Chains A and B, each alone.
Chain A
Amino acid sequence: MRVLSERSVSPGDKPIITLEGVTKRFPGVVANDAVNLEIRPSEVHVLLGENGAGKSTLIGMLSGLQQPDEGRILIDGEVRAITSPRNALALGIGTVFQHTMLVPTLTVAENLLLGAPWWQRPRKESLRTEVEALSKSLGMQVDLDAVASDLSLGEQQFVEIMRALLRNSRMVILDESTSMLTPSGIEELGALMRRLVERGLAIVFITHKLREAAAFGDRISVLKLGRKVGEITPERFQALHEDDLVTEIVDMMFGKRSDDPENGKRAGTTIAEDAKTVLAVDGVNLPATQTSPGLHNISFDVREGELLGIAGIDGNGQKQLAEVLAGQISGASGKIVLDGRNVESLSVGGRRDAGLRYLTDDRLGEGTVGTFPVSMNFLLKEVGKPPLWNKGFEKTSDIEKHAERLIAEYDVRTPRGHTPVGRLSGGNIQKVVLARELAEGARLVIFNKPTYGLDLANTLAIRQRILDIAAEGKGVLLISTDLEELLGLCDRIAVMAEGKLVGMVNNGENARTEIGRLMIGLEE
């Protein structure tokens, strides 16, 4: 019972950890932008935010895996650097990562013993007594002799929480711990968090689910695109009615802020009532797999000149939908009609020829061949065909001219036409893909997260291009996790959750709130 006896603190104590203006950059992305945060004992501090909001990076810095580029971290009021995971543990910070950090081939006991000085004999007996005492007081059982890979994800998580407690942590970080749990497992975790907090521990609970934040939290900080956009203090938390709380959080998560990048706004476009339907999708199903929720009875249509958005938290079947439409996944049922013609039985190439174009979110892996020159990447899908190939032999100068024309037209910033495409920045790679997919005969273009990870200038350029495509009378299906982007560009926005279309919203004044609520599952 070392945890309890060593520290019994009352709520409202001094913060254990204070982050002041912490910034972390990765190539091309600002993962955390001047984040301020205080973690106090006896409190469940919820970090709420969508994927890509910078939650994991923040955890990486607290657990010693990454170092901040700017700002400082104070521990017990003193400026300290958390230099390594070992250092973090010594400072009393225990982390339960989103993906299990147990060695699958070792037993639970051996996993708990990892970290002792290497010259020692493993102290299995004293571990057994400690674990027994701890599991009794927490009301959870754990089989020390079980091999870690035989445990369920919930059990593995409990072992990791126990590991943090055995290390005398005074702060435990739970990173997306509920994402792998069953509903009853989530309840148990919530009860466990309360018991830990009662012992004076600080809990940092990371989630993107609003319901859990409201149910388990004492204090909520909302992260959005790497910035902290709001905090709800325990006093306010208790004072607010649940509905008001939810409204306030939705507003923080999805609300518009003055410093969000501005789009070329789609000014009052109206799609004519009698506009022809370009794409009609009817009852598309795809079986769920271990990594994706599959697709369930998806139906919608896109008319000429219309921009239809697909909103939703990442990983809810958006990519599967795009790939089913493009013909890259087999095994789907349902009807896909392009310009009045059924295309379900056509191959990827056949659908492309019919005018259906797909711009993947995996620009460098799936969209281009990184080591090939820009000029060849423009033509990846036409290799060997006339007019740029003559009986199978390439016409080098024509290919170069073709590349020069597209480079100028799409403003691709590349040193030369035969620079390997992998050396360009993300925005320019996207322009290359765009130029290729918009060639001759495009009727409907599917974009999957087209501006993800791009800088502001390129983001705006790509968004303008998307608007132009629709203005030319083509249909556009825009999949994005960036709600601002969808609200700025689309005519209608469909919301996806767990492989279903849970709602269709006409873009307008209340669209933001409606979509926000649909996305986090408040309206079914």
Chain B
Amino acid sequence: MSDLFTNVFLSALLFGAVTAAVPLLLAGLGEQMSEKSGVLNIGIEGMMLMGAYTGFLGAYLTNSLWFGFLTGAVGGLLVSCIMVILCVRHGLNQIVIGIGLTLGCEGLTALLHHFQFSRTYPRLPAADPTVIPILSDIPVIGPAFFKQHLLVYIAVLLVFVATFIYRRTQLGLNLQAAGDKPAALDVSGVDVFRTRAFAVLATGTLAGLGGAYMANIGAGIFVPFITNGAGFLGIVLAMLARGRPVWVLIGAMVFGICLSLTTALQVAGINIPTDLIQMIPFLAVMAMLIMFGRRSTLPAALGIPYERGAR
């Protein structure tokens, strides 16, 4: 097996890992913000899927990947508006609505795609990577990390933006208070509804962007159910990261490597049944939950709708 781990193989493995990790990262960062503010956003899978569909459609119709990212983000945002109205405004059960949104988006995107393209799956032109000089010349790591689409670098930058928001801004304080003790936030004069609504809308936007990346860069095509549970993995990441964006990045890379390994091992044609190989990402989820899940602390008011002056 030693000939398997050539530089080319490793480089391809890591490149694939990054491509697989970016949607998880975006979803995880988004979910983290919702959860911080006290909203358990199970609908994120649906928001991602809608973003993948509208993102693909935008890019396909205008031939502009960046316009596709825009429509993808808007698609996710629109789905999250439903969540804001039903769960934040009217205090309905977040789990039920979340599952409903996911199922609804699965059906809707598959149906619309079928209407438009029947059984054909048009492919988008390959994206131009942004090559970072010097760094991209490092063997193995260079091609994997520094010859990626610009959005990849933006996604990594968002990790630090999120960290800054949580640690250094009034908004970060408000989000944490909304999740840990919404009544305290309310009596200090901040609207809990607006704070939570902001978080959920940000989640929808990030998830939509992640979905669009998946379709436009990762796959280059849209097929129904393309997200295949990536949103749910984002929920796992957010829970394990305990409110720290950097841990979402680390977790996303671990899952990304596992997903990439699945493909790489099959391509390399080693003598292990594919069924076992395809289990790798999910075994990794379980292993991580067993190792770190016990220590994850969630906001006290997570999943509980806030009602002013409730008796």
Chain A residues close to B by CB (< 8 Å): 26, 60, 63, 65-66, 84-86, 89-90, 95, 97, 101-106, 110-111, 113-122, 163
Contact status A114-B191, CB under 8 Å: no
CB distance from A499 to the nearest CB of B (A): 27
Contact status B189-A89, CB under 8 Å: yes
Contact status B181-A122, CB under 8 Å: no
Residue of B nearest to A31 (CB): B311
* B138 contacts the other chain (CB 8 A): no
Contact status A103-B185, CB under 8 Å: yes
Contact status B176-A105, CB under 8 Å: yes
CB distance from A390 to the nearest CB of B (A): 41
List 6 tightest A-B contacts by C-beta distance, closest first: A65-B309, A86-B189, A115-B188, A114-B188, A115-B189, A101-B184
Provide the residues of chain B in CB contact with A89, threshold 8 Å. 188-189
Contact status A102-B190, CB under 8 Å: no
Contact status A103-B177, CB under 8 Å: yes
Choose from A66, A85, A117 the contact partner of B188 (Cβ within 8 Å): A85
Given A97-B187, A114-B188, the answer on whether A119 and B176 have CB atoms closer than 8 Å is no
Stretch at the interface among B80-88, B166-174, B247-255: B166-174
Which chain B residues numbered 151 to 196 have a C-beta less than 8 Å away from chain A?
168-171, 173-174, 176-177, 180-181, 183-191, 195
Contact status B169-A106, CB under 8 Å: no
Contact status A115-B308, CB under 8 Å: no
Provide the residues of chain A in CB contact with B170, threshold 8 Å. 113, 116-122
Contact status B309-A106, CB under 8 Å: no
Contact status A104-B169, CB under 8 Å: no
Contact status B189-A121, CB under 8 Å: no
Contact status A118-B186, CB under 8 Å: no
CB distance from A412 to the nearest CB of B (A): 27
Contact status A103-B186, CB under 8 Å: no
**Total number of B residues with any Cβ neighbor in A under 8 Å:** 24
Question: What are 11 A-B pairs with beta-carbon distances under 8 A?
Answer: A60-B309, A84-B189, A84-B191, A89-B189, A101-B181, A103-B180, A103-B181, A110-B173, A114-B188, A114-B190, A121-B169
Provide the residues of chain A in CB contact with B308, threshold 8 Å. 65, 85
Contact status A101-B180, CB under 8 Å: no
CB distance from B211 to the nearest CB of A (A): 28
CB distance from A75 to the nearest CB of B (A): 17
Provide the residues of chain B in CB contact with A95, threshold 8 Å. 187
Contact status A119-B171, CB under 8 Å: yes
Contact status A103-B189, CB under 8 Å: no
Contact status A118-B174, CB under 8 Å: yes
- Other A-B pairs, 13, CB within 8 Å; known A97-B187, A103-B180: A65-B187, A65-B309, A85-B308, A86-B190, A101-B181, A101-B184, A101-B187, A101-B188, A103-B177, A115-B189, A118-B169, A121-B168, A122-B170
Contact status A114-B184, CB under 8 Å: yes
Contact status B168-A114, CB under 8 Å: no
Contact status A103-B187, CB under 8 Å: no
Residue of A nearest to B182 (CB): A103
Most interface-central of A84, A86, A97, A118 (chain B CB within 10 A): A118
Provide the residues of chain A in CB contact with B168, threshold 8 Å. 121-122
> Once bound together, how far apart are the Cα atoms of A89 and B186, in whole Å?
11
Contact status B169-A85, CB under 8 Å: no
Contact status A26-B188, CB under 8 Å: no
CB distance from B190 to the nearest CB of A (A): 6
Given A66-B309, A97-B187, A163-B188, the answer on whether A103 and B176 have CB atoms closer than 8 Å is yes
Contact status A85-B187, CB under 8 Å: yes
Provide the residues of chain B in CB contact with A116, threshold 8 Å. 170
Provide the residues of chain A in CB contact with B173, threshold 8 Å. 106, 110, 113-114, 122
Which chain B residues numbered 173 to 226 have a C-beta less than 8 Å away from chain A?
173-174, 176-177, 180-181, 183-191, 195
> Once bound together, how far apart are the Cα atoms of A501 and B189, in whole Å?
45
Provide the residues of chain A in CB contact with B190, threshold 8 Å. 86, 114-115, 118
> Once bound together, how far apart are the Cα atoms of A86 and B184, in whole Å?
12
Provide the residues of chain B in CB contact with A105, threshold 8 Å. 176, 180
CB distance from B220 to the nearest CB of A (A): 39
> Once bound together, how far apart are the Cα atoms of A163 and B202, in whole Å?
31
Given A65-B308, A121-B168, A122-B170, the answer on whether A106 and B176 have CB atoms closer than 8 Å is yes
Residue of A nearest to B172 (CB): A122
Chain B 63-86: CB-based contact to A (< 8 A → 1; otherwise 0):
000000000000000000000000
Provide the residues of chain A in CB contact with B189, threshold 8 Å. 84-86, 89-90, 115
> Once bound together, how far apart are the Cα atoms of A158 and B183, in whole Å?
18
Provide the residues of chain A in CB contact with B311, threshold 8 Å. 26
CB distance from B42 to the nearest CB of A (A): 24
Contact status A103-B191, CB under 8 Å: no
Provide the residues of chain B in CB contact with A102, threshold 8 Å. 181, 184
Provide the residues of chain B in CB contact with A84, threshold 8 Å. 189, 191
Contact status A118-B171, CB under 8 Å: yes
Choose from B169, B177, B309 the contact partner of A114 (Cβ within 8 Å): B177
Chain B 287-311: CB-based contact to A (< 8 A → 1; otherwise 0):
0000000000000100000001101
Provide the residues of chain B in CB contact with A97, threshold 8 Å. 187
Residue of A nearest to B178 (CB): A103
> Once bound together, how far apart are the Cα atoms of A113 and B168, in whole Å?
12
> Once bound together, how far apart are the Cα atoms of A503 and B40, in whole Å?
53
Contact status B187-A104, CB under 8 Å: no
> Once bound together, how far apart are the Cα atoms of A65 and B309, in whole Å?
5
Provide the residues of chain B in CB contact with A101, threshold 8 Å. 181, 183-184, 187-188
> Once bound together, how far apart are the Cα atoms of A111 and B183, in whole Å?
13
Most interface-central of B174, B191, B195, B309 (chain A CB within 10 A): B309
Provide the residues of chain B in CB contact with A26, threshold 8 Å. 311
Residue of A nearest to B310 (CB): A65
Contact status B184-A103, CB under 8 Å: yes
> Once bound together, how far apart are the Cα atoms of A115 and B169, in whole Å?
12
> Once bound together, how far apart are the Cα atoms of A86 and B195, in whole Å?
14
Provide the residues of chain B in CB contact with A118, threshold 8 Å. 169-171, 174, 190, 195
